[in-house]
Amino acid sequence: MTSLTAKDKDAVRTFWAKVSGKAEDIGAEALARMLAVYPQTKTYFSHWKDQSPTSPSARKHGITVMTGVADAVSKIDDLKGGLLSLSELHAFTLRVDPANFKILSHNILVVMAIMFPTDFTPEVHVAMDKFLAALALALAEKYR
């Protein structure tokens, strides 16, 4: 996949500045949708008492994930280096199949479209899609 251009990074940082205040809601919604629309993703959360999309565990986890995304925005100039320890966590401990990064990314984009319909233009969409793909790639870096 292509690397992020300066234009992409600007678009991501600008859009993120607009939406970061709602990061927790975005994360919780995106995770809830992932569990609802792609039920196979629930297999990673068998340790939760309540795996329903609106459970407190799901909300908490959505927030955790989105905090990671926010961090990645600040490290956009070196995602591989910046996300090294997160990659090790996902590779050796969590062992989430990287196909699921794509699924969660899609749901993050859907939530952004819902919450920011006028700001989430096609140009912002492509920049965010590229960014999330680059993020996923950095997360999968240590897998093999």
Partner 1 sequence: MVEWSDFERATIQDIFSKMEYEVVGPAALSRCLVVYPWTQRYFGNFGNLYNAAAIIANPMVAKHGTTILHGLDRAVKNMDDIKATYAELSVLHSEKLHVDPDNFKLLSDCLTIVVAAKLGKAFTGDVQAAFQKFLAVVVSSLGMQYH
Binding site for partner 1 (CB under 8 A): 32-33, 35-37, 53, 106, 109-110, 113-114, 117, 120-123, 125-126, 129
Nearer to partner 1 (CB atom), residue 89 or residue 115: 115
Q: How far is the CB of 96 from partner 1 (least distance, A)?
A: 20
Nearer to partner 1, 83 or 124 (CB): 124
Closest CA to 72 of 18, 130, 118: 130
Q: How far apart (Å, rounded) are the C-alpha atoms in residues 84 and 142?
A: 8
Taking CA atoms, 139 is separated from 7, 55, 81, 123, 143, in Å, by 23, 26, 10, 24, 8
CB-nearer residue toward partner 1: 15 or 83: 15
Q: Quote the least distance from Cβ 101 to partner 1, whole Å.
A: 15
Q: What angle do CA 30, 32, 37 make, to 5 degrees?
A: 90
The residue (of 110 and 137) whose beta carbon lies closer to partner 1 is 110
Query: Within 10 A of 117 (CB to CB), how many other CB atoms are there?
Result: 9
Shortest distance (Å) from residue 37 CB to partner 1 = 4
In whole angstroms, the minimum distance from the beta carbon of 79 to partner 1 comes to 20
